[in-house]
A and B are shown apart, each in its own frame.
Chain A
Amino acid sequence: DAGVIQSPRHEVTEMGQEVTLRCKPISGHNSLFWYRQTMMRGLELLIYFNNNVPIDDSGMPEDRFSAKMPNASFSTLKIQPSEPRDSAVYFCASSWTGRNNEKLFFGSGTQLSVL
């Protein structure tokens, strides 16, 4: 298995532009998570899906952020419009969540720089 695949690996954009981050989870996993990592705030959970349904999006900073999971093998995180404070590394992770939450498999992340 190729693991969790994220694209792009790096994204540099200007303030006000739309940014779309993509994630392909591990085949067979039923839960998908988007995290954001910064030096100041550490690793923050933005949103997670179970069986393609958003379960908790309370970590999404504001309405500029949206996430979708149209099918079990693809998810997107969109920021529109982007702002410099959105600069961070965004990670997607997936897992098989049965009765108990087991280990997460992380992608390599997308390094986002908003100028």
Chain B
Amino acid sequence: SQQGEEDPQALSIQEGENATMNCSYKTSINNLQWYRQNSGRGLVHLILIRSNEREKHSGRLRVTLDTSKKSSSLLITASRAADTASYFCATVGLSGNTPLVFGKGTRLSVIA
């Protein structure tokens, strides 16, 4: 299984602080993706990083990928209450044609 494992399971921070979530996976990948899920809603794609990339930015999001350690991190800078959600990593196998397999997510609470 390519399942990513997010760490921590839950994270609570104050508004304005940075939030870091980690993801580890088991086997070689084509790409790794991060998704956000607000309560009662579907998942929304945030960012995709390919196996030959080490870092990617999108607005207040920064994703790193270390293929030697089979791990990735998602950093949200200057967090806002609206960032409160669950965050999932998902991996695609080396062939690039396998479906996304999701971890169980990190529940982030940003307190105003």
Q: Which residues of A contact B (CB under 8 A)?
A: 4, 33, 35, 42-43, 45, 48, 56, 91, 93, 97, 99-109
With A45-B101, A56-B99, A100-B30 as contacts: A105 and B45 at CB distance below 8 Å = yes
Partner of B96, one of A35, A45, A101, A104: A101
How many chain-B residues does the 8 Å CB contact rule pick out? 22
Kindly report which residue of chain B lies nearest to residue A45, judged by CB atoms: B99
A99-B96, A101-B31, A101-B96 known; A43 vs B88 contact (CB < 8 Å): yes
Closest to A43 in B: B102
Whether A100 pairs with B44 at a CB distance below 8 angstroms is: no
Given known A-B contacts A42-B104, A42-B105, A101 and B98 have beta carbons under 8 A apart: yes
- Shortest CB–CB separation between residue B69 and chain A, in angstroms? 22
A6 to chain B, nearest CB (A): 8
